[in-house]
Structure 1
Amino acid sequence: MIKVTQVTARVPRVLSKRYELQNGELNIKPGGHMTEGFCNVIEIADMHQFAELIAGLRSNEALIYGVPKGLDTARIVTKEEFELAKENGKPGIIARTNDCFEWPDGPGIFMIDYDPDDGGTALSKNELLELFEKICPELNGVPKVWWASSSSHICTEGGADLTGLRGQRIYVPVSDARKIPELSKAFEARFWAAGHGYIRISKSGTCLKRTPMDHAVYQPNRLDIAAGASTGEGLKQMRGAPEVVV
């Protein structure tokens, strides 16, 4: 069975990005930073069941691909509140830090996060899957879940697509989740060897190494806000359902 952690936020009530129309322009508000909530470790039989899980997430829910250390369910608070609870001997309370989470000792989910460069054209679903299967032929034949991210297909009520396909996720089952950070490093090395690595200059002038996937997300406490975007009046998201592909 594949273990993942489902998170339900209490503060804030909405974790996902919010899109609003203001004077005819699309305005984006970032998702909330969770300071209080609950988490529960659940077991997934296969990727079809995983697709059902992420399709049913609400705007105050997210997933973590690590698990709380020694717990199946817990209340999540700030680091300061956690330290106080620990001093007072209160059980079942954790912070969303790497000190409180670890990779499952067994099957897990390797989440691949793809976002095109600002102003760049996004790869299509098929182009993206072909790229990753070229970089990692071991993915061929493995049941995976593909889904457009919450930044994709923000539409007017009349159906006009204002954002198109942008960010995308590929979810891959792995037999040993503890090796997920190593997998990220292996993918990064293969992308550079195949000519798909590049340097992005930050606003401060720093040279940042980049590939088509985000390699900064592989900590066991990291939230995957897979639920759809929150939309204001006159908008809706039409990104379809997650797809199991092989």
Structure 2
Amino acid sequence: MFDFLRLLSFGPDGWGDEIARGALLTIELALVTLPVGIAIGLGVALAKDSKSAAVKMLANAYTTVFRGLPELLTLFIVYYGGQMLLTRLAGLFVEGASVEVNQFVAGVVALGLVLGAFSSEVLYAAIRAVPRGQKEAAAALGLSKMRVFRLVTFPQLWRVALPGLSNNWMVLLKDTSLVSVIAISDLMRQTAIAVGVTKQPFFFYLIACLIYLVFSAISSAVFSRLEARASRGFRRVGGH
């Protein structure tokens, strides 16, 4: 027991500080990716609700691609493909130029694209759930499309979309473990390094499991509060 506690101690003799830094980087990556993915998803959802057939087709193509590709493959394409593309573009201006993509940024972009694809489905369904008559009435009062969306559509779609977005957040939290393959020192990478050095796979992977479960429990509590706050003034169908 004391040997295991020593393995988790902070300082040169333990792995507590490395595991803590990895856990912090994991949650930072997820928190930075969340608004990126939601913004992409909202844009794609609005495109799907557009009257333009071409815009709808592009939005549907985007969701089909990034919902169909494995997240790990998307990460590789963004990291290595983005590096090659930027190097070639830089080579047009500076001969022999080489561009190295930041791993954290690549992780945010790749996970954001995937989150955006899944969130767009949730947000599109939420947009369609808002009664069209309300939007037409607001437009009849002289409100611009932007004000109709901000004052009428968004507050209602936010309430409807929250449960689905909370599920997407949970998936995102787990998908952050994939970034360890491009040498980001997240929780999984630090855990793997600790396992390699100490030869204690069960102990350290169990600790990683517990940390992810703590993140999930906190996330569930936060989203429950947000859903309760967003639903104030609305009575559930069949409720009392």
TM-score by length of 1: 0.24
- Which has more helix, going by share of residues? 2
TM-score by length of 2: 0.25
Structure number with bigger Rg: 2
- Which has more strand, going by share of residues? 1
